Copies of this chain bind each other. A is one copy, B any other.
Amino acid sequence: MTYSELQNRMQQISDLHAALALLSWDQETYMPSQAASYRSRQVALLSSLAHEQFVAPEVGEALRALRKEDLDEDQKVNIQRLTEDYEKEVKLSAEFVKKRSENISKTFQAWVQSREKNDWSAFAEALKPLVELKREEAEIRGYDHHPYDALLDLYDPGSNMAYIDPLFSELKEGLLDITKNLEPKYSEDYRFLSAFVPAEVQWEWGVNILKDIGYDFERGRQDKSHHPFTITLSPGDIRITTRIDERDFSNMLWSSIHEGGHALYEQGLPKQLHFGMPMSEAAGLSVHESQSRFWENHIGRSYSFWEAYYPSLQKKYGGEFSNIQLDTFYRAINQVQPNLVRTEADELHYHLHIMIRYEIEKELIKGTIEVDDIKNLWNQKYSDYLGLEVPSDKEGVLQDVHWAHGSFGYFPTYTLGSLMAAQIMQQLESEHSNISMALRQKEFSVIRDWLEQNIWKWGRSFDLHSLCQRMTGKELEVSPFLSYSRQKFGAIYHIK
């Protein structure tokens, strides 16, 4: 197989993944209820077809041969990453892939039902075989020190506990130091946050912001789903979803900007040039999350951004907003308060939610705890870290879909991404003194250009660690995030 024959093969696999992506996009947006069991079959079948086509011996041979050829830099990256992917995937049998896919469908259905009934124990039974499969998967994939490392590596190549543990421990200490010492500076009424704003008004407003920040609707679209997500079908088709609560406009707003950040990255990758190849793909989920968090928190929740947008929000949303000053609005959308639900957490407490999950996953995959232990541990940690009693499984251990999807090892990428986002912002501001001004003028191209040059155009050339090094000359660090937090929230609160 020549390089270009290999690329053809990879493009075919990419076409299969496009169909898979559409099947799951549809499942989360428009699929009728009675279609669920058939949908699981379809996904399982296409997953194993894609797997088979990739791990075929001729692909392995081609990769071995091409490593010795004289290729350009991008091609070398593609062959190198494909080789790594191949070595990971070839360890899994088609049978295992199919079994895992079927198992995930079942567990997901059980999660939907258990969550509705607020019944952890029913879900726990369904989760047990999936946890067994994930432990088995960790063994099959292999690891140096801890089975959880094998799963972490799937979402963020190169990540492992030895890398994450010290970062998380520094972050936890720093966060608890801030969150436990916050005292209100202002006594204000923030009830306008739950003012009624009609769904179609919110929708239009969100779409306008997406267009402003540069999301290309000719190569994508936005729909509604229970859990917002970004999904790539092809270089010309990168979709996002959002959700709308007519009594909480901020729900849709942050989710649209967040997914918009993911989508800008996907639309900014060299997807056409390297169609089917790793250079057309994101560097990993932590880097992906750095993009969404960057746009959501560092842009969308910034004061300068609202200097630009608040007048038009007042005009569009009218009613209670007309009497609210920008400063009050800004403080309201940046309130810090421990809460039970991760997706509704503020920028600081959010990471305590993540650490709880990370700590549980490590032990679960290792086998030092079992599924039946999760709920008590969960509730204990919410009490310890956030000072909250968990009143129901729905707002507790059943809140996230990730475990039902078999996505153990996924959660830490949210926090690593946030750390990277803060580091990006720090670097960006050190290179451009006028970022606040640009935001006040809704001028996002300087930011997009910087991201394009430093992150997007590299595809999978570099992992999280090397990207940070190249971008800032430093490893991924906790301090930019902590100093951003102290500065931002110190202006809103007293920090004792």
Point out residues on A near B: beta carbons under 8 Å: 11-12, 15-16, 18-19, 22-23, 26, 30-39, 41-42, 45-46, 49, 216-221, 223, 233-237, 239
Give Cα A36–Cα B233 distance, bound, in whole angstroms.
11
Q: A19-B42, A22-B22, A49-B49 are in contact. Are A36 and B221 (CB under 8 A)?
A: no
Give Cα A223–Cα B46 distance, bound, in whole angstroms.
26
Give Cα A45–Cα B26 distance, bound, in whole angstroms.
20
Stoichiometry, copies per complex:
2
CB of A5 to closest CB in B, whole Å? 16
Give Cα A45–Cα B217 distance, bound, in whole angstroms.
26
- Across-interface contacts of A33 in B (CB, < 8 A): 218
- Across-interface contacts of A15 in B (CB, < 8 A): 38, 41-42, 45-46
Give Cα A219–Cα B23 distance, bound, in whole angstroms.
16
Contacting residue for A32 out of B34, B37, B220, CB 8 A? B220
Chain A, interface SS category:
helix
26 chain-A/chain-B pairs, Cβ below 8 angstroms: A11-B41, A12-B45, A15-B38, A15-B42, A16-B46, A18-B42, A19-B23, A19-B42, A22-B22, A22-B23, A22-B26, A32-B217, A32-B218, A32-B219, A32-B236, A34-B216, A34-B236, A34-B237, A35-B233, A35-B237, A36-B236, A38-B233, A38-B234, A38-B236, A39-B237, A49-B49
Q: A45-B16, A49-B49 are in contact. Are A234 and B39 (CB under 8 A)?
A: yes
Q: Are A38 and B237 in contact (CB under 8 A)?
A: yes
Contacting residue for A35 out of B37, B223, B234, CB 8 A? B234
Q: A22-B23, A26-B22 are in contact. Are A219 and B42 (CB under 8 A)?
A: no
Q: Are B223 and A31 in contact (CB under 8 A)?
A: no
Q: Which of A36, A217, A236 has the most CB of B within 10 A?
A: A236
Q: A26-B26, A45-B12, A49-B49 are in contact. Are A18 and B38 (CB under 8 A)?
A: yes
Q: Are A37 and B223 in contact (CB under 8 A)?
A: no
- Across-interface contacts of A19 in B (CB, < 8 A): 19, 22-23, 42, 46
Give Cα A16–Cα B20 distance, bound, in whole angstroms.
11
Q: A19-B23, A22-B23, A35-B237 are in contact. Are A223 and B30 (CB under 8 A)?
A: yes
Chain B residue at smallest Cβ distance from A233:
B35
Q: Are B31 and A237 in contact (CB under 8 A)?
A: yes
CB of A17 to closest CB in B, whole Å? 10
Give Cα A114–Cα B31 distance, bound, in whole angstroms.
34
Q: A18-B42, A19-B42 are in contact. Are A32 and B237 (CB under 8 A)?
A: yes
Chain B residue at smallest Cβ distance from A31:
B237
Q: Are B235 and A38 in contact (CB under 8 A)?
A: yes
Give Cα A16–Cα B35 distance, bound, in whole angstroms.
15
4 nearest interchain CB pairs? Answer: A38-B234, A34-B236, A35-B237, A35-B236
Give Cα A26–Cα B38 distance, bound, in whole angstroms.
18
- Across-interface contacts of A216 in B (CB, < 8 A): 34
- Across-interface contacts of A219 in B (CB, < 8 A): 32, 34-35
- Across-interface contacts of A18 in B (CB, < 8 A): 38, 42
CB of A147 to closest CB in B, whole Å? 33
Q: Are A218 and B34 in contact (CB under 8 A)?
A: yes
CB of A230 to closest CB in B, whole Å? 14
- Across-interface contacts of A16 in B (CB, < 8 A): 45-46
CB of A76 to closest CB in B, whole Å? 26
- Across-interface contacts of A234 in B (CB, < 8 A): 35, 38-39, 42
**7 additional contacts (CB under 8 A) given A12-B45, A30-B221:** A11-B41, A15-B46, A16-B45, A19-B22, A32-B220, A34-B216, A39-B234
CB of A434 to closest CB in B, whole Å? 32
- Across-interface contacts of A46 in B (CB, < 8 A): 15-16, 19
Give Cα A252–Cα B181 distance, bound, in whole angstroms.
62
CB of A256 to closest CB in B, whole Å? 17
Chain B residue at smallest Cβ distance from A16:
B45
Chain B residue at smallest Cβ distance from A26:
B22
Chain B residue at smallest Cβ distance from A27:
B22
- Across-interface contacts of A22 in B (CB, < 8 A): 19, 22-23, 26
